[in-house]
Structure 1
Amino acid sequence: MFIPLHDAVELKYIRAQYVTISIIALNVLIWLFTNFSAPEVAEHASLGLGFIPAVIFNYATLDPSLVIVPDDLTFVTYAFLHMDFWHLASNMLFLWVFGDNVEDALGHVKFLIFYLACAAAGAALHGFVASSSEGPLIGASGAISGVVAAYFLLHPRVRVWVLVLFRIPLPLPAFIPLALWIVQQFAMLALDLDGMVSWGAHVGGIIAGAILVLFMRRKGVPLFDRDIVTPKAVERKPGAPQIAAATE
């Protein structure tokens, strides 16, 4: 539906988004390692680190030779694996645009806990919806859905540059594209249970993110920030003449 490109919300409490950058770097490094090693490495990683509902709910067992971490840890390890470059790039772009301000509102340590908790919530709802699935769930979408939900509650009036329909760049108030995106996730969960995308993981992350930000944000950090922040590319300097739209 849309691709986020840029926002203009300055950091107020932290110097830099160290956790956000570290998560992105770790995801990229893991993807490079798994995708540029032997083909069996990626398969082993997805089975050993991915979240497999049938294994969690004892409908199936994983070959012991494929086990990398205890089953319970796959609730979060799955969120650091990606299928291909575009899967990785889209998730990391969302995290880059929205993660810094959520990290700023929560603090470094709380943001890391928040991120992992949203990932776990995404896996949990995915498992509830498809408890007998033997396919591994991989990708950071559940965790990032939580970040999006938190940003939506923190900065709904900020104008964000988004690429609408993958081709039209527009500066829109954040609540417009994010509300539409959130509604889409719930709708697709109801309409596309058997699809390749885990809408359950997205919805689980959204619910967790919306709840957790209420309790984990710093004291004094408001919800529904009333400040309208506009990207510099569309700001007009005081006193600058209005330019009429060209007509043919």
Structure 2
Amino acid sequence: MVIPVHDVNPVRRTPFVTYALICANFVVFLATPGVVDSLTGESGLAQLCRLQAFLDQWAAVPQEMIHQQTPPVVPTGDVGLGPQGPGCVVGPPDYDKSPPLSVVTAMFLHGSWLHLLGNMLFLLIFGNNIEDRLGHVRYLLFYGACGYAAAYVYALANNTSDDPLIGASGAIAGVLGAYLVLYPKARVWVLVPFLIFLPLRLPAWIVLGSWFVLQAVYSSGAGVSAAGTVAYLAHVAGFLAGMILAWPLRRGTPPPPEPRGLLFGRRARPGRPERQG
């Protein structure tokens, strides 16, 4: 798995929506119960109960999305003593939850720092060009549409699951799919783990195409354990949705400028042909 760090594809306008989405994701993550405790190394049953109650209210749950029903009892966030010892208290929900709207809130929830930082890195690198091509408002609608497509395809395939679905991965996968359609020849600087991290400049179609193939393989169950918690199918669905939505725009999209005179981040000597990574 290569790690993208920068693309050679300048934009014409400031990607305000992309920056706002990144900021919103960080703010929501820091407001998620248990995040501050995880930074200090503190954890316990009370933290787990608060997190369960928070996710039950704001995360997208496939069973609820498909059947349009919320459970009669949910975690309350409190700790109680039951027949088998201390545990999380459950009771009737004190809130009204809309399963379709929970898809929106779930797009801003993340389960760990690694989950958040990985998603935001991809959004920062590739989102600005898609926003530049679509415009601010259409880009925001596109982002939401890909997130919904990813969530509902996953929910349809797991319609009995009550595990919460969280993360911006589906929407960001749509951004990657659009980038592959609109800018397949754009150069992307990546770090390739091979004993050390080697910097290479590769075409976007290789970087994003290999990412999609990997997600598709994992979504089939190959190469991952049954206990895996990543919704790979949502990544695949979001990516395909982004490709489909961006396809009509590909003919009117100017190609990215071809980088000149750079060799692995350094300026090549005069007269030396540029080596394509």
Pair in the same fold by TM > 0.5:
yes
Mapped partners of 1:207, 1:18: distance in 2: 25
Unaligned runs of 5+ in 2: 38-45, 75-91
Matches within 5 A, 1:165-244: 165=193, 167-192=197-222, 194=226, 195-215=228-248, 217=249, 220-222=252-254, 225=255, 227-229=257-259, 234=265, 236=267, 239=270
Mapped partners of 1:138, 1:126: distance in 2: 12
**Residues 59, 119 of structure 1: CA spacing in aligned structure 2 closer, same or farther, 3 A cutoff?**
closer
Shift of 1:220: 3.2
Worse overlay, 61-70 or 141-150: 61-70
**Residues 110, 219 of structure 1: CA spacing in aligned structure 2 closer, same or farther, 3 A cutoff?**
farther
Mapped partners of 1:9, 1:235: distance in 2: 17
Mapped partners of 1:202, 1:230: distance in 2: 34
Equivalent residue for 2:7?
7
**Residues 226, 90 of structure 1: CA spacing in aligned structure 2 closer, same or farther, 3 A cutoff?**
closer
Unaligned runs of 5+ in 1: 243-248
Contact 2:181 2:250 in 1 (8 A): no
Matches within 5 A, 1:133-144: 133-144=161-172
Matches within 5 A, 1:1-248: 1-12=1-12, 14=13, 16-34=14-32, 35-36=35-36, 39=47, 40-58=49-67, 61-62=70-71, 63=74, 64-65=92-93, 67=95, 69-165=97-193, 167-192=197-222, 194=226, 195-215=228-248, 217=249, 220-222=252-254, 225=255, 227-229=257-259, 234=265, 236=267, 239=270
Mapped partners of 1:76, 1:146: distance in 2: 15
For the residue of structure 2 that corresponds to 1:72, the secondary structure is helix
Q: Normalized per residue, which structure has more strand?
A: 2
**Residues 4, 60 of structure 1: CA spacing in aligned structure 2 closer, same or farther, 3 A cutoff?**
same
**Residues 20, 68 of structure 1: CA spacing in aligned structure 2 closer, same or farther, 3 A cutoff?**
farther
Which structure is higher in RCO with an 8 Å CA cutoff and minimum separation 6? 1
Q: Normalized per residue, which structure has more helix?
A: 1
**Residues 153, 128 of structure 1: CA spacing in aligned structure 2 closer, same or farther, 3 A cutoff?**
same
Q: TM-score, normalised by structure 2?
A: 0.77
Contact 2:62 2:158 in 1 (8 A): yes
Q: Which amino acid aligns with 1:199?
A: Y
Q: Which amino acid aligns with 2:60?
A: F
Worse overlay, 83-92 or 190-199: 190-199
**Residues 151, 185 of structure 1: CA spacing in aligned structure 2 closer, same or farther, 3 A cutoff?**
same
For the residue of structure 2 that corresponds to 1:7, the secondary structure is strand
1:98-154 Cα deviation digits (max 9, x unpaired): 000000010000000000111101101111221111100101110010000111111
For the residue of structure 2 that corresponds to 1:80, the secondary structure is coil
Shift of 1:176: 0.9
Mapped partners of 1:218, 1:191: distance in 2: 33
- Identity of paired residues, percent? 38
**Residues 33, 240 of structure 1: CA spacing in aligned structure 2 closer, same or farther, 3 A cutoff?**
farther
1:13-68 Cα deviation digits (max 9, x unpaired): x2x00000000000000001112378344333321111111122339733352646
**Residues 67, 240 of structure 1: CA spacing in aligned structure 2 closer, same or farther, 3 A cutoff?**
farther
Of structures 1 and 2, the larger Rg is shown by 2
Contact 1:30 1:80 in 2 (8 A): yes
**Residues 230, 119 of structure 1: CA spacing in aligned structure 2 closer, same or farther, 3 A cutoff?**
farther
**Residues 196, 5 of structure 1: CA spacing in aligned structure 2 closer, same or farther, 3 A cutoff?**
same
